Amino acid sequence: MLPQGTYHPRITYNLYNASNNELVRTKKLFKNAITVIDVAPFRRWYESLLPEGKRGGCVGQEGLLDLLKKYAKRQKTAKMYPDLEVQFNAGRLRFQTWTEWPCRWLPAGG
């Protein structure tokens, strides 16, 4: 399981920007831009929410009883969305930025 914290996605490219076509060529997060990001950090986080059986591991033998009950409950209802699974397999994830942004732009690594 990933430690708590912030994970900065790596921007692959910008797909669409409503305000200006020149901003599509940059790798910056702008308001209302649709970007394609590297999926590796998000995939690790998303799979940590799924039950252990889906990831190929097993629940530790010394685990707590309430933890085992929680995983058993999740195993009954846990599904990966088909759209996310296709994007995970491709290694890219489409991501739309927020509509309210505190500053004009944010540089991102990538």
Query: Residue 82: pLDDT band by 50, 70, 90 thresholds?
Result: confident
Per the domain annotation, does 44 fall within a domain?
Answer: yes
User: Would 6 be classed as within a structural domain?
Assistant: no
Q: Is residue 2 part of a domain?
A: no
Q: Domain for residue 45, yes or no?
A: yes
pTM exceeds cut of 0.75: no
Among 5-9, 39-43, 46-50, 72-76, the minimum mean pLDDT is found in: 5-9
Place of tokens 């305000």: 19
Task: Give me the number of domains the chain comprises.
Answer: 1
Domain span including residue 50: 11-107
